[in-house]
Structure 1
Amino acid sequence: MILYLFKSTVCLFILWGIYKLFLESEKIHVFNRFYLLLSLVFAFTIPAINIEIPSATAETNLVVFKKTLEVQPKLLQFPNRAELPPIEAQKAFLWVHYVVILSSLVSLFFFIRFLNNLVTIFRSTRTNPVIKWQEAKLILLDKKILPYTFLNYIFISREYYENARIELELFSHELAHVRQKHSLDVIFIELLRIVFWFNPLLYLFKKAIQLNHEFLADEAVNKTYHDVSAYQYLLLSKAVQTSGLTLTSNLNFQLTKKRLLMMTKSTSNATAFIRKAICIPLFIALAFCLTEFQLIAQEPTNLKLSSPPTVTSASKPHKLTKEDVNYYNALVLMRDKNGVNSRKYYNELTEEEKSKNIKVLYAEKITPSQEEMEKWKDPKMYGVWINEKRVRNSEVAKYKPSDIAEFSSSRVLKNALNYGKHKYQLDIMTNDYYENVYIKQVKESPTLFIDEAKKKNN
């Protein structure tokens, strides 16, 4: 979650910076509107995307080490290394738990405030006179206010309306907000601010969106009346008043200067094209940098950390012997009479150690039942790998139990990349792969096991 928030914040900052530097000052308001909205959607979705890339090849050592982890007896896991991760994970969980609760409470506060604003607005539509006008509804208020807009409602002063003291340009300006559905943009950014209230960039995006709305509405007015100077003078005379409601579109003194300058600005087609074209490689580059690309062949090493829910071949008697494998450079796992674990390479063993009973660690053949294979088809329960390749769960139906030489499953932990997608990772080897790839790798780079504690117990 922390990485996701970091990526989304960086993305928002870059997109907002590009907007301020290259787009806001140009007269391409329709494009800017969709740029700002797309930036918000992009920044909060792209970092959450996880693309799985099957690895075409894998180093022999990685494959053998993965299988060694699968069949390694639990007693060979060194206590200090096995116990520390759960403790740290528990502390992290408690810390994240409290942060999530606090953040949710703050979000709840902002959500209640948001609902209160909505209730205030809609109460005004029911308790005051309503006049239908073109695509909008005029709500006549008893207060002396400047017109402001929400959805298809235009709120105006009843006294000003009855005495014809509201200029047609102001009506046209608010009607442009209604026609172009600017309120939907504001509602969208407000909902994002409720969830991600701690992200200051959303406040900057809201200001940019609302300013662009004013540019669009001003452009609509000037296209209708063709008198920029008169409209500018009108805005200056009205800019000192405001409605005070954050969900509405209205005149604002702080925005007036930028609006007046924008009315007299012109942007050539070539400039507009270049500025728009800049955005295409920008979004492509950000998508490539922020998307989580995952090599499937690397996952099992991280995931084989818990007891599998199904019976695996780890506990089966070993059939390969030391003489069957290239043991000279093999890794040897040892457990002495006191149960203390250690490891050496075979060429580091003493002659006495070499003479002891040495077993080869590997996954012996095991055949699943048809009932087990039916369960594997559930994508919510299992993520399936066949012969080291990630496949769809439906691929299991292509095999019979007799086609499978070995299988093992493990629970997906919270620190795994695929956590939340399925509960267990299932690794399957077919007969051909088991004999011609896996056993060959075991023989070339074996892991051996000397267990003196077992002798003592016997």
Structure 2
Amino acid sequence: MIPYILYTALILTACLLFYKLLLQKETFFHLNRFVLLGCMIVAFTLPLLPVPQQLSFRKQNTETSVSPAKIPVLKNQTPEQKSAPVQEVLVEETKQNFNLDMLMQGVMYLYWFGVIIFAFNFLMQAVILLYRAHSSSAIQDGKFRIVEINGDKAPCSFANNIFINPEKYEWETYNQILLHEKIHIEQKHTVDLLLAELVLIFQWFNPFAWQWRKALEINLEFLTDDKMLQQHTVEKQSYQFSLLKVAAPQFPLSLTTNYNQSLIKKRIIMMNSKKSNVHTTWKYFFLVPLLVLFACLFNQPAAQSQTFSSNEKSENLKEPKENSNLQKGMDTEGSWFATIKDNTVDMQFKNGEHTNSSTTFQLSEFNNLPRDKQGEFALTREAGTMHFTGKFEGPNGMGTYKFVANKNFSKELAQEGVTVSKDIDLMVFFMVNVKTSYVKMLKKKGYNDIDKDDLIPLAALDVNENYINSIKQAGVSDFELEDLIPFKSLNIDQAFIEEIRNSGYKNITADNLIALKSQNISGKYISDFRNSSKEKNEDNDDDDIVAFKSLNIDKEFIDSFKEIGYNDLSNDDLMALKSLNITPKYITEFEKTGYKNISTDDLFALKSLNITADLIKQYKDLGFNDMDLEDIIGAKAIGATPAFVKSMKEKGHNFKNLQKYVELKAIVGIN
């Protein structure tokens, strides 16, 4: 389930970056609408489609994935036979990576909890809108219902309902609002918004999904504004003035079309923008190979996906449900092998055909280890006693073990609200050395709902009282017991939190700290980001910090563009430049050919089409000295290359204008 969710998030993110880089500034609003809707659907369906084996980049792994070889276990293996691979013990794994299976289970619980919360929010919004629509007085205007509302609320629409306070606006503005909302209804924009909200329910954790919904809403407003200005009764300046009067700073229900104040400036700018040239439609065709590449890279080959599914089903039938993650690789009886190193004893445990596990004890915990002869010894902790039989010869020893659980310990934990009844679970508590006093300490700190699966990594990672106090003193908001596990494993401490806060980062939450630390983002990096970034107060500033780090965008990278005159690059521009590997050197090569102050949109188009300064020189050598960049981009996109021009000249087609060869290429066809 987790791979599918993450794969969907990856596709949605890639499509958003593609849209922002190449499409969002185009005035093909209808086309952009279908791209935005189509990509949402593709993001959830593409991961489910198997690809032919000959197209999959994963076909090399088919055999090993379907039928993995099993490693035989020798019955008479001695401590000296170290050739067989040995897994580290549960305790060692927990100390280093806090039990991946347990973490994945926790992540899934967290994910579905978020889905439930956002689904509930979605239903509540729908109920509120339907209640308002049918509880307030309304006027039927053909297929439209004009619902009168009170107070200083912005007008909006949902389905065929238009919510507006008629007393708030003068007659011309009122009519323009109604016409605007009727366009929303006629074009069924509510369907777009509902689909976007459904995406957010299942992708609530993905910041790019929220940006996707915002991009969709903006495009719908652009589309509606464009339709408004095509009306003979609407004058552009009057309409823009009405928008400024109607704009509201509050945020209405997200299921409705609305007059969001933060979008008004963008809408007015777009209304006054130059219409996109039809030659720029080449950009849209790049989306298809992008999605095909994703499918070839990540989708299972057709044969493999079927075999793997059947294997999974058979494994699920073989594996008993009671065999939980806690007892994997261990049993209460078996064989042991040990090596004494200084003041510690490294022990490996083997149970029948199970893979070996190992752990480390302090030598001082054992009394009377049998030397050079068979004997018995024991190790007692609160969870129970481990009885050993065997002997040591020098630093090495071997024998058998049996764990006896302490049922009183189970009762004491039950009194504290922690249920641990199985001997195998108590053995894990024994290995990690969980004590009743530790549980009481956690409850004293305010963590009353303690699960036994949380105690294992907490104790193994030595999440003690001093550490918890230091995190609380650092003032982290929304801090839960489960957050202590990734915090300690990532070495997030009070000093790191204060460093992040002092850098100017305001949204200090547990999730954000984990994201920052996992990306190795320091306070200095954040300070450099804020000093170098143009958008110092944007809502998505925090997301941009993580994105900048993942793309390795630093102060040196930003300054390199400032040195050649690009002082006002937005965060989106910088990420696009880095993603497309556009360097200052690439830009200066164009300046040498006479093209200066190249816009970022033109740079993206040039790089996407692999247009270089050398290509421009080839065009100029053919006699085209008055070309603008749009001519070159259009020529390369349609295939009117210097080689094509030469071939046409040889056939007697001599034109002084490159655009003529573009038109000729469109006629003869793209080879």
Sort the TM-score into its range (normalised by shorter chain): 0.5 to 0.7
Deviation digits for residues 15-47 of structure 1 (CA, Å, limit 9, x no counterpart)? 111111211111111111111111122222222
For 1:251, the equivalent position in structure 2 comes to 259
CA change 1:13–1:292 in 2 (3 A) is same
Deviations 1:245-292 (A, max 9, x none): 221111111111111111122334433422223333333333333322
Please tell me whether the aligned partners of residues 54 and 295 of structure 1 are also in contact (alpha carbons under 8 angstroms). no
Structure 2: which amino acid aligns with 1:34? F
Q: How does 1:297-312 map to 2 (within 5 A)?
A: none
Checking the alignment, whether the CA contact within 8 Å between 2:47 and 2:299 is kept in structure 1 is yes
Q: 130, 144, 160: which one pairs with 1:122?
A: 130
Does residue 270 of structure 1 match 2:270? Answer: no
- Give the conservation status (yes or no) of the 8 Å contact 1:242–1:250: no
8 A Cα contact 1:149 1:155, kept in partner: yes
Taking a change above 3 Å as real, the CA distance of residues 3 and 171 of structure 1, as seen in their structure-2 partners, is same
Q: CA deviation at 1:130?
A: 1.6
| Distance change in 2, residues 1:3/1:78 (3 Å) | farther
Aligned-partner SS, 1:292: coil
C-alpha distance in 2 between matches for 1:292 and 1:86: 32
Q: 2-side partners of 1:230 and 1:298: how far apart?
A: 61
Return the alpha-carbon distance in structure 2 between the equivalents of residues 150 and 173 of structure 1: 13
AA in 2 matched with 1:276: Y
Q: Which of the numbers 239, 247, 271 marks the counterpart of 1:239?
A: 247
Structure 1 segment 224-235 matched on structure 2, within 5 A: 224=231, 225-235=233-243
> Is the contact between residue 154 and residue 259 of structure 2 (CA under 8 Å) also seen in structure 1?
yes
SS at match of 1:27: coil
Paired residue for 1:46? Answer: 46
Give 2:300's aligned residue.
292
1:95 aligns with 2:130: no
Q: Which amino acid aligns with 1:51?
A: V
3-state DSSP of counterpart to 2:227: helix
Indicate yes or no: 2:28 matched with 1:28: yes
Report the secondary structure of 2:148's partner residue: strand
Distance in structure 2 (CA, Å) of the matches to 1:297 and 1:40: 24
- Where in structure 2 are the equivalents of 1:155-304 lying within 5 Å? 155-160=163-168, 164=171, 166-224=173-231, 225-240=233-248, 242=250, 244-293=252-301, 296=304
Aligned to 2:18: 18
Partner in structure 1 of residue 8 of structure 2: 8
Deviation per residue, 1:274-323 (Å, 9 max, x gap): 222333333333333332225659969x95997999xxxxxxxxxxxxxx
Which amino acid in 1 is paired with 2:49?
A: I
Pick which of 10-19 and 281-290 moved more: 281-290
Shift of 1:116: 1.5
Following superposition, the deviation at residue 68 of structure 1 comes to 12
Local SS of the residue matching 1:167: helix
Q: Counterparts of 1:345-360 in structure 2 under 5 Å?
A: none
The structure richer in strand per residue is 1
Contact map agreement 1:146 1:243 (CA 8 A) in 2 = no
Return the alpha-carbon distance in structure 2 between the equivalents of residues 108 and 146 of structure 1. Answer: 29
User: Secondary structure in 2 aligned to 1:111?
Assistant: helix
Task: Quote how far apart the aligned CAs of 1:210 are.
Answer: 0.4
2:146 paired residue among 138, 149, 170: 138
- Helix, strand or coil for the counterpart of 2:164? strand
Aligned residues: 300
State how far apart, in whole Å, the 2-side matches of 1:132 and 1:226 are.
23
Does the 8 A contact of 1:54 with 1:297 survive in 2? no
For 1:130, give the aligned amino acid.
Answer: A
Distance, in Å, in 2 between the alignment partners of 1:192 and 1:68 is 37
Partner Cα distance (2:281, 2:211) in 1: 25
Counterparts of 1:297 and 1:218, CA distance in 2: 47
Q: Report how far residue 185 of structure 1 moved.
A: 1.3
Alpha-carbon deviation of 1:206? 0.7
User: CA 1:251–1:11 in structure 2 vs 1: closer, same or farther (change >3 Å)?
Assistant: same
SS in 2 for 1:26: coil
Q: 3-state DSSP class of the match of 2:301?
A: strand
Gaps of 5+ in 2: 56-61, 94-98, 319-351, 354-671
CA-to-aligned-CA distance 1:337-387 (integer Å, 9 cap, x gap): xx99xxxxxxxxxxxxxxxxxxxxxxxxxxxxxxxxxxxxxxxxxxxxxxx
Q: TM-score, normalised by structure 2?
A: 0.39
Letter in 2 for 1:289: L
Point out where structure 1 has 5 or more consecutive residues left out of the alignment: 56-61, 310-338, 341-458
Q: Is the 8 A contact 1:23 1:275 kept in 2?
A: yes
Conserved 8 A contact 2:158-2:255: yes
User: CA RMSD of the aligned region, Å?
Assistant: 4.2
Counterpart amino acid of residue 257 in structure 2: S
The equivalent of 1:325 in structure 2 is none
Q: Does the residue aligned with 1:155 lie in a helix, a strand or coil? A: strand
What residue identity is the alignment partner of 1:189?
A
How far apart are 1:51 and its partner, in Å? Answer: 3.5
Structure 1 stretch displaced more, 18-27 or 202-211: 18-27
Q: 1:159: Cα distance to partner?
A: 2.9
For the residue of structure 2 that corresponds to 1:131, the secondary structure is strand
Within the candidate set 101, 104, 115, 2:112 is matched to 104
Cross-structure match for 1:350:
none
SS at match of 2:51: strand
- TM-score between both structures, scaled by the size of structure 1: 0.56
- Give the alignment of 1:54-93 within 5 angstroms: 92-93=100-101
Q: Are 2:26 and 2:276, in contact at CA under 8 Å, matched by a contact in 1?
A: no
User: What CA distance in whole angstroms lies between the structure 2 residues aligned with 1:297 and 1:116?
Assistant: 39
Give the secondary-structure state (helix, strand or coil) at the position aligned to 2:204: coil
Give the structure 2 partner of residue 402 of structure 1.
Answer: none
CA distance in 2: counterparts of 1:8 and 1:146, whole angstroms: 35
Q: Shift of the alpha carbon at 1:164?
A: 4.2
Say if 1:51 and 1:292, in contact at 8 Å, map to a contact too: yes
Q: Distance in 2 between matches of 1:67 and 1:107?
A: 35
Residue 189 (structure 1) shift: 1.5
Displacement of 1:215 in angstroms is 0.6
Gap change, CA 1:307 and 1:288, over 3 Å in 2: closer
Give, as a single letter, the amino acid of the residue that structure 1 aligns with 2:10: V
After superposition, residues 394-413 of structure 1 pair within 5 angstroms as none
Letter in 2 for 1:251: Y
Q: 1:156 to 1:7 in 2, by over 3 A?
A: same
The answer (yes or no) to whether the contact 2:28–2:276 under 8 Å persists in 1 is no
Residue pair 1:151, 1:178 contacting (<8 A) in 2 also: yes
Identity %: 27
